[in-house]
Amino acid sequence: GQQVMQIPQYQHVQEGEDFTTYCNSSTTLSNIQWYKQRPGGHPVFLIQLVKSGEVKKQKRLTFQFGEAKKNSSLHITATQTTDVGTYFCAGPTSGTYKYIFGTGTRLKVLA
């Protein structure tokens, strides 16, 4: 079945450093979504990418969808303590509405 892997699993950064998480799917995705989950909270939708090679920005966050639509990345510039949490990517199984989530990257920001 479809698998969505994320690396790294954990990342500790000093406040002000950049951070990147990578998402890789075993199959081509029609779109990819990114979510953020704060410790003890629930996932919150951040953004959706649809087009091959698409790049979207939200303030310090840059999201990219690979040309082959099998991978994606989230880059945070100059991390802040408010960026702490786990970042998940999610994509639909081909031909269905089943959204499979990646394993997540847990970000810790040290002040």
Partner 1 sequence: NAGVTQTPKFQVLKTGQSMTLQCAQDMNHEYMSWYRQDPGMGLRLIHYSVGAGITDQGEVPNGYNVSRSTTEDFPLRLLSAAPSQTSVYFCASSYSVLDYGYTFGSGTRLTVV
Closest contact distance (angstroms) between CB of 19 and partner 1 is: 18
Which amino acid is present at 80? Q
Per-residue x/- marks for partner 1, 61-100, CB under 8 A?
---------------------------x-x-x---xxxxx
The conformation of residue 28, written as its DSSP 8-state character, comes to: -
DSSP letter string over 88-109? EEEEEPTTS-PEEEP--EEEEE
Q: Among 11-19, 26-34, 59-67, 72-80, which window interacts with partner 1 (CB under 8 A)?
A: 26-34
In three-state secondary structure terms, 82 is helix
Would you tell me how many other CB atoms lie within 10 Å of the CB of residue 95?
7
Report how far residue 51's alpha carbon sits from residue 64's, in angstroms, rounded to the nearest whole number.
Answer: 10
Assess 58 for contact with partner 1 (CB under 8 A).
Answer: no
17, 20, 24, 46: residue in contact with partner 1 (rule CB under 8 A): 46
Q: Which residues bind partner 1 (CB under 8 A)?
A: 1, 6, 9, 30-31, 33, 35, 41-48, 88, 90, 92, 96-104
